[in-house]
Amino acid sequence: MKLTRSPLPLALLLALCPAARAADAAPQATELAPVHVKASTHGDRHGTAVDAWGNASLHDTPAAVTVIARRTLDDHQIRTLAELTREDAALGDNYAAVGYYQNIAIRGYPLDFASGYLIDSLTVVGEQKVALEDKQQVEVLKGLAGIEAGVLEPGGVVNYVAKRPAEVRNLTLGTDSHGSRYGALDVGGWLTPDFGVRANLAWEDIHSYVQHANGRRNFYALAADWRITPQSTLELDSDYQTSAQRSASGYQLLGGTTIPAHPDPTRLLGYEPWQLPVGIESSNSSARYTYAFDEAWKLRLAAGHSRSVIQDNVAFAYGCFYEAACASLVTTGAYFAPNGDYDIYDYRSPDDTRVADQLRATLDGHLDTGSVGHELSLGASAFRRTIDRRVEVYDYVGTANIAQDNPPYFPPSPNQPGPSHRRLTSWQRSVFALDRLHLGDDWQLIVGERLLHLDERAYDGSGALERSTRLSKALPQAAVLWQPSAPLTVYASYVEGLSLGLEAPYWASNSGDMLGPRLSRQLETGVKVALSDAFNLDAALFHIRQPYQYAQPDNSAAGFTFVQRGEEAHTGLELGAHGQLAEGLHLDASASWIRARAQGTGTPAYEGHQIANVPDFRATLHVDYALPFLPKLAVLGGWRYASPNVATMDGRVRVPAYHVFDAGLRYSTQWNDHALTWRLSVDNLFDHAYWRDTGSAWGDSYLFPGAPRLARLSVTVGL
């Protein structure tokens, strides 16, 4: 895939021109980064990740929310979704392959690409690599997201919050221990007292730790704010990104029962010289208009458009259907052979186009009825998602073994992809209402409901209608908050949500069948304590239930039929401590215990143990310490832990627990009256080998080894 040349030289000239230098705050550029405080009790711009509880502050939100601030993104040099999972113990990988768009799990539930990712609270296509250069923070709302989220998986949502116009001119240059090159430019200012703009540009020449998987990325983003009148404002955002990188296949269990010994995380399984990179071209645009009628009532209108076009190419390492050693496996050949052999497929799916459009209107206001105060949110939303795909090539070309540095050469399939057809059209229309009642000084009661109508049509490769789903559902939510003092909030909440049914894998007897939507229910109680303006403690106890959809062993010719039977229940406890613990010492710590079980499935072997890819315990710790004798220098340290992780449906195979340590330095100074910040980060300091992911995708299970040690060095200068 052809990519444009680096935009940084031109952008740098623009940043240095007299018009751009008219603002006089350049030495303060690095001060724009907020203090790294997760779940800050005050001052958050959007309140909650999806405004699901009346656009309240995080301290008044009856849900567990993690905020990953810009300072953290910079110091830890985070550039991918998978790297975000290090920041909170409730997050985990779920098929987060190098070179591909990635997915994560929250509270043990993988997010839905259709609804699990948002930018400024508007849904975007999940099948893209969301850039972080133009993001001020990343908000993770855990659990069912309530009235504003619509159809989603019960784990939660990730909301990327874009930077707003400000007087800033920062240039960042970086490299890593593999020789990658990175550059980013952040330029903004107020052109008039009422109109401001901000541009973010990035270019990356990626030298991956996986062999043959180097890549490139170009990114451009523009934001504008217009204060039209004292009562009305308009926010505009648009970004565009292209990337190209070979995708790395995951490992699979040997014979469906054995973990591969000593896997090499640098090996590109299935590599063939003709394998093209996965190209992803994505764009996201939004407009948000706010009009304040008076101090009590405000109208918010929002519209978003998101598009991702994927050139999906991979020499895919998968299964052992063509091996005699797999003929007797009860696992249908969807695993590597017992001796480490695996099949290689030529997979090509060009022009895979995903589009998401959303319109939303919300009226927020306050009124009093006697001694009871009401904060009201009334609104309507329309969301449309489409998928257009060509008939893909998916042909077996040969067999290799995990012990080979590079597989033998096999010619690619002579077949070519077919014409493009509409594969999915989905509409979600809803109206919602929420009332936050203030019952005296100490108590709040929140009640709300979303009336949702889903109209979805799926088509096969020829364009013929394959499935039609139409349903209407009322989704209630309720919460009570007790605040006996300003620093303390105790809450309990109940929420219902709806998630789409899953598709039967191709090796099941009902291959391709889409099961019905699933109703999820969540009970949660929690405590939030602001020990000071800069340090917070939080705890949440939750129970989430959802119908269980899985491939049930049976006597069919395929050996499995995809069914909905029984229930999947996740019960967990989350603890967090975030903020400035002492002078110069910043701490972020989190822990998550989850008991994830399937019950009532009719398959006893799948019950009574932890569900796959949900470690029962995770913990993270990040420390930022400014040395008292050299305050410009800060020492960073990190620790990540996960308990043994189930890798099979019957729970008999688990990958070992792991500890991973990270380290870093930050040095801030002045150079010729310009702010200068050096950052050094080392991930996996002791080069520990571990399995980071035992998740599934499209009905199959995979194992992904953790990344080896990686050092990154960057410098940010205020221009």
Q: Kind of pairing, strands 109-110 and 117-119?
A: unpaired
Give, as one character, the DSSP assignment of residue 606. G
The mean pLDDT of 488-499, rounded to a whole number, is 95
Which 3-state string (H, E, C) describes 158-197? EEEEECCCCCEEEEEEEEECCCCEEEEEEEEEEEECCEEE
The mean pLDDT of 56-83, rounded to a whole number, is 93
Instruction: DSSP for 503-515, please give it.
Output: BPPTTSTTTT-BP
pLDDT score at 214: 97
> Within 13 Å and on the Cβ side, how many CA atoms surround 664?
30
11 pLDDT above the threshold of 70: no
pLDDT score at 566: 95
pLDDT score at 697: 82
Residue 710 contacts residue 683 (beta carbons within 8 Å):
yes
The mean pLDDT of 490-503, rounded to a whole number, is 93
The radius of gyration of the chain from alpha carbons, rounded to an integer in Å, stands at: 25
Residue 332 pLDDT class (50, 70, 90 cuts):
low
Nearest alpha carbon to residue 452 among 472, 427, 477: 472
Residue 343 three-state SS: strand
Residue 147 pLDDT class (50, 70, 90 cuts):
low
Percentage of residues in the chain having pLDDT higher than 70: 91
Exposed e or buried b per residue across 449-464, where buried means at least 16 C-beta atoms within 10 angstroms of its C-beta? bbebebebbbbeeeee
pLDDT score at 512: 82
CA distances from 76 to 215, 495, 527, 623, 716 (A): 21, 34, 28, 11, 14
The mean pLDDT of 454-469, rounded to a whole number, is 89
Per-residue pLDDT tens digits for 279-321: 999 999 999 999 999 999 999 999 999 999 999 999 999 999 8
pLDDT score at 30: 39
Per-residue pLDDT tens digits for 207-249: 999 999 999 999 999 999 999 999 999 999 999 999 999 999 9
Nearest alpha carbon to residue 187 among 41, 23, 75: 23
The mean pLDDT of 453-467, rounded to a whole number, is 89
SS3 content of the chain, % helix, strand, coil (to 5): 5, 55, 40
Residue 460 contacts residue 427 (beta carbons within 8 Å):
no
Residue 624 pLDDT class (50, 70, 90 cuts):
very high
CA distances from 44 to 18, 49, 230 (A): 34, 10, 22
Residue 331 pLDDT class (50, 70, 90 cuts):
low
Residue 329 pLDDT class (50, 70, 90 cuts):
low
Residue 33 pLDDT class (50, 70, 90 cuts):
very low
The mean pLDDT of 133-150, rounded to a whole number, is 85
485 pLDDT above the threshold of 90: yes
pLDDT score at 49: 38
33 backbone φψ class: left, alpha, beta (φ>0; ψ -120 to 50): beta
Residue 25 contacts residue 99 (beta carbons within 8 Å):
no
Token pair in block for residue 171: 């240039």
One-letter amino acid at 58 equals L
Q: pLDDT: is 334 or 18 the higher one?
A: 334
The mean pLDDT of 392-408, rounded to a whole number, is 94
The mean pLDDT of 355-362, rounded to a whole number, is 97
Mean pLDDT, all residues of the chain? 90
Per-residue pLDDT tens digits for 547-599: 999 999 999 988 899 999 999 999 999 999 999 999 999 999 999 999 999 99
Residue 4 pLDDT class (50, 70, 90 cuts):
very low
For residues 504 and 561, give the distance between their C-alpha atoms in angstroms, rounded to a whole number.
8
Lowest-pLDDT range of 3-7, 441-445, 643-647, 672-676: 3-7
For residues 156 and 143, give the distance between their C-alpha atoms in angstroms, rounded to a whole number.
4
Per-residue pLDDT tens digits for 433-443: 999 999 989 99
pLDDT score at 460: 86
Domains of the chain listed by start with CATH number: 8-718 (2.40.170.20)
Exposed e or buried b per residue across 548-574, where buried means at least 16 C-beta atoms within 10 angstroms of its C-beta? bbbbbbeeeebbbbbbbebebbbbbeb
For residues 502 and 562, give the distance between their C-alpha atoms in angstroms, rounded to a whole number.
9
623 pLDDT above the threshold of 50: yes
37 pLDDT above the threshold of 70: no
Residue 149 pLDDT class (50, 70, 90 cuts):
low
Query: Residue written as tokens 């990035």?
Result: 202
Exposed e or buried b per residue across 299-315, where buried means at least 16 C-beta atoms within 10 angstroms of its C-beta? bbbbbbbbbbbbbbbbb
The mean pLDDT of 684-708, rounded to a whole number, is 92
Percentage of residues in the chain having pLDDT higher than 90: 80
